[in-house]
Amino acid sequence: MKPSTRIKVTLKAAITVDGKIATRLGHSKWITGDAARQKSHQLRHENDAILVGINTVLKDDPELTVRGIEGGRSPARVVLDSKACIPEQSRIFHNDGVPVIIITGNQAPSRSWPELEKLNIFVAPTKTPDVLWIMAKLKKLGVKSLLVEGGSLIHASFLKSNCVDQLAFILAPKIIGGQAALSWCGDLKVENVNDACQLDIISITPLGDDWFISAKLK
């Protein structure tokens, strides 16, 4: 892959109308319906790489592949794993020829990794990898477009770094409620409503019983 001049970042979340991505017990399958999940795979197909945090891997063990899309191409799989604790049997290590990129912190213990043809391990110069440092590394690999699928802390980190170009919300007509249920975005340190992130809604499209909302930061 040739180096790009800039990475386009799309932040994607499947949420209830009260902004939750899981119950207080961590149950999240399935918040959205079949049509919405198909849209998620289309978004993956349209991007060079997909990024999640280690908590998403430990809880859901996702494949991060493209399924059900004619001619679909799976993006490179990127996991932010500060402590290098991802299990070796995780499904992202499926040896299908798609690049797998693990990014750890500088205090992560040394360990052995699965023997994959396209496995890249990057160690950040800090305990917790900085988003802009991550973007620079992915840029050197030739990544031109990145789909960030979370979780909550990862979404907040990317928003605070001011590198999100587009937001893609799949909104389910459901209410989970409760402060202990996980929201799609972590703490942004907003103390005044006037300082909240402002969005421009680009489009709202029905997807079965759900809605796909495309937006950009003002």
Q: Which domains does the chain have, with CATH numbers?
A: 8-217 (3.40.430.10)
| Per-residue b or e along 105-140, where b marks 16 or more CB atoms closer than 10 Å to that residue's CB | beebeeeeeeebeeeeebebeeeebebeebbebbbe
Least confident stretch, 63-72, 76-85, 139-148: 63-72
Model confidence over 149-197: pLDDT tens digits?
Answer: 988 999 999 999 999 999 999 999 999 888 888 899 888 888 899 888 8
- What tens digit of pLDDT does each residue of 35-78 get? 988 999 999 999 999 999 999 899 889 899 998 888 889 999 99
Could you count the other beta carbons within 10 Å of the beta carbon of residue 20? 21
Contact status, residue 83 vs residue 54, Cβ threshold 8 Å: yes
Over residues 131-149, the mean pLDDT reads 95
pLDDT in tens, 97-119: 999 999 999 999 999 999 888 99
CA distances to 45, 110, 217 from 133, in Å: 25, 21, 22
Query: Residue 31: its pLDDT value, please?
Result: 83
Phi, psi of 183 (to 5 degrees): -85, 160
For residue 136, the surrounding DSSP H or E stretch is helix 131-140
Question: Which residues make Cβ contacts (< 8 Å) with residue 162, sequence separation at least 6?
Answer: none
Residue corresponding to tokens 């980190």: 157
- What number of residues does the chain have? 218
Single-letter amino acid, residue 111 = R
Q: Which amino acid is located at 44 in the chain? A: R
Instruction: Please name the helix (run of DSSP H) or strand (run of DSSP E) that holds residue 36, with its range, or none.
Output: helix 34-45
